[in-house]
Amino acid sequence: MPDSSDSSQHSSASRSRSGRPWLWAGLMAAIASLVTACKSPPGPGARPDEASTSAQLQYRKLAANHLYARNADRIYQGKLPPMLYAIGVLQVQIDRNGSVQRLHWMRAPSHAPEVVSEIERLVRAAAPYPAPGGTGRITYTDTWLWDRSGRFQLDTLSEGQL
């Protein structure tokens, strides 16, 4: 037979959840708004931070195409295998002349330091990049998907995985 204290705790918890439907409704509305905001592209009246994010996404695709053109023989063709050798997330700052100003690893493949060095070399060797508009410099982030063969795809242009 259940302990009466267990049953009173259970009913108390049920009451607190059911006694605040406005709290749950507000939480669900906030989550729905967040999901919608993440999916919607910035419109003509977008706030500056939304426009900045849009510019970064556009430049990320431009930079990925630039890197692919400079490294055509290193691009993994087709869907990537299910197990990749390394995955790294690199932030790159480009100045108004298309030069690489700064590299910052947001997630470095620490088990593969040779991949870190090679990615940095590829990024620097691909300069000059297309000149960014606006403020004259841009920082973008992309994910490097690295196969054991030494070939790669960037998440921006990836064909997916098997």
Q: What is the pLDDT of residues 42-55, one digit of tens each?
A: 444 445 456 677 88
Low-confidence residues in the chain, pLDDT < 50: 2, 4-17, 33-46, 48
pTM higher than the cut 0.85: no
Measured distance CA(16)–CA(13) in Å, rounded: 5
Could you tell me the two tokens for 159?
Answer: 């064909």
Measured distance CA(100)–CA(102) in Å, rounded: 6
CA atoms within 13 A on the CB side of 7: 4
Spatial neighbors of 147 by CB under 8 A, at least 6 apart, are 76, 80, 81, 84, 85
Tens digits of residue pLDDT in 138-158: 999 999 999 999 999 999 999
